[in-house]
Amino acid sequence: MCNLSEVDISSPSDSLNLHQLCHGSRRCWFFTNRTKRNLDEMKLFQAEILERMERLEVDNASKFDKVRNIKLEFPRFDGTNVHEWIFRAEQFFEYYDTPDLDRLTIASVHLDKDVVPWYQMLQRSRPFTSWIEFTRALELDFGPSIYECPRATLFKLTQTGTVAEYYLQFTSLANRVYGLSNDALIDCFISGLNAEIRRDVIVHTPISIVKAVSLAKVYEEKYLSNQKLYKTNMNNYSTNKPNQNKPEN
């Protein structure tokens, strides 16, 4: 800072210049201090951010360890629902990052019923060398007929029971069909719904299968409620209906 008492002022112009100099010095000192405060605040903010990031990394690592410590059970296969079993088995192998050859060993000790002698016979004649080869053999011998066309069956599928039952049949077939776009699957699902439900779902133009199923269940519940109410009203009417028989003389 500038101290006027220590400076020799010989003329008014010198005094003016000195005041201007001191004023500039004070402004410089002010901005320097403000910049220093801003830098200090920025350092504190950065330190806080780093601390939060470290805590977040620790929390995520802890959560990951907890997830990885979950013990999964490998599914057993008795010759039914082969595609579902293959899917569950591959999820297990992906979770534990299982090598290909180990997959065959793990799968072989989880076979039941007629699948056991089938596996023994093939292993003696032509041992499996990969998981893909094994699953293809399973699909060929325990899967649907090769003459069955899941795409055609999917397109012809219609709702005969509840929406939930229809959706279960639909997903079972859709998982075996490849090459259909999301829009095509949605249209296929909606077209198989009951006429009343289909009409109401179409109005909403759902953009996903999940949305279409949710809407279908809502309208199904609506129509079931209306049917129950109608039956209740008819029963009440029949009970309270006046007797039309003429009284005996």
Residue 7: its pLDDT value, please?
A: 47
158 CB-side CA count, 13 A: 5
| Per-residue CA distances from 32 to 24, 28, 35, 127, 206 (Å) | 12, 6, 5, 81, 61
Pairwise CA distance, residues 115 & 141, whole Å: 10
Match 């080869």 to its residue by tokens.
133
- Residue 74 has φ and ψ, to the nearest 5°, of -75, 135
Pairwise CA distance, residues 238 & 218, whole Å: 31
The pair of structure tokens assigned to 21 is: 């100099």
Chain centroid to CA 160: how far? 29
Cβ pair 115, 141 in contact under 8 A: no
Provide the whole-model pTM.
0.49
Find residue 111's DSSP bridge partners.
Answer: 77
Q: Is the dihedral of CA 133, 137, 142, 144 positive or negative?
A: positive
DSSP 244: -
DSSP 162: -
H helices, E strands: number in the chain: 10, 0
Q: Is the dihedral of CA 144, 148, 152, 153 positive or negative?
A: negative
Pairwise CA distance, residues 216 & 197, whole Å: 6
How large is the C-alpha radius of gyration of the chain? 39
**pLDDT string in tens for the chain (249-residue length):** 555 455 454 555 555 555 565 656 666 666 667 777 777 777 777 777 777 777 776 665 555 555 566 788 999 999 998 989 999 999 999 999 999 889 999 999 999 999 999 999 999 998 999 999 999 999 889 987 766 788 888 999 999 999 999 999 999 888 888 888 999 999 999 999 999 999 999 999 999 999 999 999 999 998 887 776 656 656 555 566 555 555 554
Kindly compute the dihedral angle of the four CA atoms of residues 187, 192, 198, 202, in this order, to the nearest 10 degrees: 0
How many other CB atoms are found less than 10 A from the CB of residue 120? Answer: 12
Pairwise CA distance, residues 144 & 212, whole Å: 28
